[in-house]
Amino acid sequence: MASVELPVLKPGDYGSDQDVRWCPGCGDYSILAQMKKVMATLGWPREKTVFVSGIGCSSRFPYYMNTYGMHSIHGRAPAFATGIKSCRPDLNVFVITGDGDALSIGGNHFMHAVRRNVNLNIVLFNNRIYGLTKGQYSPTSELGKVTKSTPMGSIDNPMSPLSLAIGCEATFVARSIDVHIKHLADTLKRAAEHPGVSFVEVYQNCNVFNDGAYKYATDKAVKADNVIEIEHGKPLIFGKNRDKGIRLNGMHPEVVELGKGITEDDLLFHDEQATQPTLAYLLSRMRYPEFPEPIGVLRCVDAPRYDDLLNEQVAQARAEKGEGDLDKLFNSGDTWTVE
């Protein structure tokens, strides 16, 4: 019998014939490259994959993937994706969004797609600025940020996308960095394989309007002190010499130095599968410069998925009542005949 194995696809097979038009040096290129690489390892047919995006630089992404795709309207990609996934559970649906798209105009849809646990893969490119509209501050821009629309500095308290997602009880929450390519690829792969909603925040550089926003997390000289790579079941250790860690002091995390009476066993051990989202939320609150910022998977738990439940209800109704019969329905209840 002939082999029925799927053809092996290479990352290049996932590129569309369209010219990529991001600014030279944009962090989006790296995310696109890693996404293609991950796609090739997942073994999914290209035609079963759909990329949905909203508006913004990141949202041009679907045009560059040789899969099915929809470039939709500002902030609403999770709603389109929910419609697709609800009707077609057989499709792998990705939502590509930015910090403005997902958290400002699309905050509502983001929140509801996450809390419903629709089996979507949401990737948020966070450059902490509005790029496409040329440089206004975003919901993740830091206090005091001077931009075209905030000449005296932003007075909006920035939000944490991870905290928001965990607050909505996201079943998979992770963070990575555009230039940390291996970590990014591993994270995207785990997210794609997660049944239920997955949310990945990617720190991404906008070299035109917000260059170096994440220098603390990417600069070789300092990143080891400012970023902590978390892994399930492992203690929270960081630093160039891996001599620092995070310890819980009551309800609060604190940075401690190993040695001088403090051992690994005193540190906080990461449990991405904790039923309660408390630990994941605590990690999501750790911000530079007070803390090293966590990258990796903060939370990964199993929960019922909206699209499955919806289709199970349809199947259940058909099993219980039989396939709908319109003639029977039309003639049900009170009727009368005119001769």
Which SS3 state, helix, strand or coil, does residue 99 take? helix
C-alpha to C-alpha distance for 283 and 301, rounded to whole angstroms: 16
- Would you call the peptide bond into 235 cis, given omega within 30 degrees of 0 as the criterion? no
Stretch that binds another protein, among 27-35, 128-136, 170-178, 326-334 (CB under 8 A): 326-334
Which SS3 state, helix, strand or coil, does residue 229 take? strand
C-alpha to C-alpha distance for 339 and 332, rounded to whole angstroms: 19
Give buried/exposed letters for 303-319 (b at 16+ CB in 10 A, else e): eebbbbebbeeeeeeee
Residue 334 sits in the site that holds another protein (CB under 8 A): yes
Query: Which one among 31, 32, 57, 79 touches another protein, defined by CB under 8 A?
Result: 79
Measure the CA angle with vertex 71, ends 156 and 86; round to 5°. Answer: 95
Residue 327 sits in the site that holds another protein (CB under 8 A): yes
Up-side HSE of residue 20: CA atoms within 13 Å toward CB? 20
State the number of binding residues for another protein (CB under 8 A).
63
Closest CA to 54 of 118, 125, 111: 125
Q: Tokens representing 156?
A: 């909006």
- Minimum CB separation of residue 339 from another protein in Å reads 6
Closest CA to 109 of 158, 54, 155: 54
Query: Which one among 36, 37, 109, 183 touches another protein, defined by CB under 8 A?
Result: 109
According to CB under 8 A, which residues from 2 to 61 bind another protein? 16, 18, 45-48, 50-52, 55
C-alpha to C-alpha distance for 298 and 169, rounded to whole angstroms: 12
- Minimum CB separation of residue 184 from another protein in Å reads 23
According to CB under 8 A, which residues from 282 to 321 bind another protein? 310-311, 313-314, 316-318, 320-321
- Minimum CB separation of residue 157 from another protein in Å reads 24
- Minimum CB separation of residue 266 from another protein in Å reads 44
Closest CA to 97 of 66, 135, 139: 139
Residue 274 sits in the site that holds another protein (CB under 8 A): no
Residue 63 sits in the site that holds another protein (CB under 8 A): yes
Of 61 and 130, which has the nearer Cβ to another protein?
61
Residue 196 sits in the site that holds another protein (CB under 8 A): no
User: Which residues of the shown chain bind another protein in the complex (CB under 8 A)?
Assistant: 16, 18, 45-48, 50-52, 55, 62-63, 65-73, 76, 78-88, 90-91, 108-109, 111-112, 310-311, 313-314, 316-318, 320-324, 326-327, 329-331, 333-339
